[in-house]
Structure 1
Amino acid sequence: MPLLEDFSSIFAVPDFIKPYLHFFATEEEMQLVVMLAKDSLSIATIAARLSRDEAAVAGFLEQAYQRYILNKEVKETTVYYSVSDFYHRLKNFCLFGNYHIIPRRVRKELDAWDFTEYLKRNDYFRKVIDASPEYDDCHNEWILLLHEVEEMIDAASVIRVLPCDCKMLADNCDHSREICLVFDGNHISDRSGGRELSKEEAKKLVHKLDREGLMHTGGPPNWQETGSSVVCNCCTCCCYPFRAAKHLGTKGKWPKSRYIAVYNSSQCCQCGLCVSRCGFSAFAFDGTDVEKDGKVKKNVSFNPELCWGCGICANACPAQAIRLVKISGGQTA
């Protein structure tokens, strides 16, 4: 099938997904991609090449742009379209398409492929490993506490919530999927998707996700001056930044931990909520028993070297036996 092969080559499609390409692109879109190849063309030129009415072609091109089949840019008031790639089309389709119709085995392959591409394409992570930069053109720079997210929400003029592509692709847990908050117009494009929230709705959502046990990340570090960009609500089993941080060994540097938990064992009621919520095994049952309030319970231990300072443990502790302190200076958070 020459069309399929030509499209796959131009669109950078992994071989294993070729039998499922009909989920990602129509035949007409494939023909368009093959026709454009490496060119960047105006609507008029594309319409002439296709021998079609310019108005009809404009609508088709805009639809292909919204589906991340094409990219577009404006040069001196003229719109030009060029070919996108499978990496970006996959992210759009997993968020807003009928993604779960694809067999789970294939979706697991897609997650592995996409994670590898994510590491390749975000090579600024290498700066984090080799040095200690204040982040340049990075994302998920900081691990945030709940009150810090609320401050970002209060400062935002526009708030939009979207599903999380990491969670849709990995699908390793039952946590909520609509969890990514994007702030203000500079970070929301004409094809971002999602829905707008009021500040009250955004805070209610973030509190709900915190109760679920999802951590909060975002930035940039100078957001008070530049404006905040995105807040993600993350787990360790699906979310690419934490999976990448574990893979790259960037604990404490990216996403940057600015706090650490302090555990008061004498105040602990040994309920084990911190054990179930901690994604880094900083809290664990140590295999011994302890008597508490006349009952024998599993003993909770805490290893501060494993703590990433997300605060999910402290937020749920009914005995208030855990608090977060700033790493530098030791100020109570």
Structure 2
Amino acid sequence: MSGLENFIALFKVPDFIQPYLHIFVTQKEIDLVVHMGEKDFTLEGLSDLLGETMTSAFLEQCYQREIINREKKEGILYYRIADFAQRMNNHAMFGNYYVLPQNIRKELDEWCLSEYHKKHNYFQAVIENQPDYDNCHNDLIMLLHEAEEFVDSSDEIMVVPCDCRMLADHCDRPREVCLRFNRSITDRTNGRSLTKEEAKQLLRMSDREGLMHTASPHNWREVGPSVICNCCACCCYPFRAAQQYGTKGKWPKSRYLAHFDQEKCKLCGLCIQRCQFKACFLDGTERELNGKKGKNIGFNPELCWGCGLCANSCPNGAIMMEKIDENL
């Protein structure tokens, strides 16, 4: 097996991406992965293995680019190779991802979504029982005021691009919108630091642009905040996976349901534009309002995910969010 073939097998590179490998990795990085194989190495071990070709600066670069991972065990730092899915996620957020042809990006998105399904194997448990929240991310769908409270409880905040939206590219909604807090900020988060007020401004902007707020962990008031993602149903992997697996309401956890008061509805249609799940819709009938006939708006609670985007845009207070789970 050649060095390149060995790298492709070790790094789990999909066949269709092989002609574009140069966009993701350098030859020196390929050589490093091939030399390391599936073993863990200390810094000294890597120095013995690679000699003068390896420097701490090069290792740090590989770590930041998610070619390798490192972990401290019993006070000793160990290095291990990552894989293409991990490198792909990093590259989509911080690399020159859009030099790839559109058809390859589309195939990559489907491949990454498939890898996402494999990585997060708790979907069946979520369907059958209550989710194991220790292993779930994007636990809760939050209303805007709750997300702002989440921000207020934090000590450190960084914003990073939404990897889902960068990969999928199914809509033109804002991309630098995912917030990391406190313990979720690592030495390779590579985001932009925000104040609490800047983070809340970003949340409000995201909300205006039609992005839903999901956050974790579910018990953030006890253990502290971790992540807020500002999501759309067309790009974001948690929502796409939830729709495929049928985990609506269970994961991400819905705690609210919109209540639609047709008497107050002035037929502006903003709720239809805002709802990403078609819970608000034109029902095919008409009614008279202020001496004029208008198309009537219907609401299907079975399709509501409880995100609140319809309620906070209704100019007449015709939609209110009602809590359906008091435990979360």
Question: TM class, shorter-chain normalised?
Answer: over 0.9
Matching of residues 270-289 of structure 1 within 5 Å: 270-289=267-286
Residue 298 of structure 1: which of 292, 295, 320 is its match?
Answer: 295
TM-score normalized by structure 1?
0.95
Maintained 8 Å contact 2:150/2:225? yes
Residue 208 of structure 1: which of 205, 210, 224 is its match?
Answer: 205
Maintained 8 Å contact 1:7/1:34? yes
Maintained 8 Å contact 2:122/2:131? no
Q: Which residue of 2 aligns with 1:325?
A: 322
Q: Which residue of 2 aligns with 1:193?
A: 190
Q: Which amino acid aligns with 1:41?
A: F
SS of aligned partner of 2:229: strand
Q: Which residue of 1 aligns with 2:128?
A: 130
Residue 221 of structure 2: which of 201, 220, 224 is its match?
Answer: 224
Residues 137 and 328 of structure 1: CA distance in aligned 2, closer, same or farther (over 3 Å):
closer
SS of aligned partner of 2:228: strand
2: distance between equivalents of 1:84 and 1:50? 18
2: distance between equivalents of 1:76 and 1:59? 24
Whether 2:264 is the aligned partner of 1:267: answer yes
Shift of 1:124: 1.6
1: distance between equivalents of 2:243 and 2:139? 15
Whether 2:311 is the aligned partner of 1:314: answer yes
Gaps of 5+ in 1: none
What CA deviation, in whole Å up to 9, does each residue of 1:50-96 have, x standing for no partner? 2307xx61111110010000111234544321110001000000000
1: distance between equivalents of 2:176 and 2:105? 19
Maintained 8 Å contact 1:43/1:57? no
Whether 2:11 is the aligned partner of 1:11: answer yes
Q: Which moved more, 1:86-95 or 1:290-299?
A: 290-299
Shift of 1:214: 0.7
Shift of 1:192: 1.0
Maintained 8 Å contact 2:131/2:251? no
Q: Which residue of 1 aligns with 2:96?
A: 98
Q: Which amino acid aligns with 1:32?
A: L
Identity of aligned residues (%): 54
1: distance between equivalents of 2:122 and 2:147? 25
1: distance between equivalents of 2:223 and 2:58? 37
SS of aligned partner of 2:322: strand
Maintained 8 Å contact 2:68/2:81? yes
Residue 251 of structure 1: which of 232, 248, 251 is its match?
Answer: 248
Maintained 8 Å contact 1:162/1:195? yes
What CA deviation, in whole Å up to 9, does each residue of 1:211-251 have, x standing for no partner? 11111111222111101110111110001111111111111
Let me know the Cα RMSD of the aligned residues. Answer: 1.4
Q: Which residue of 2 aligns with 1:240?
A: 237
Superposition misfits of 4+ residues, deviation over 3 angstroms:
75-78
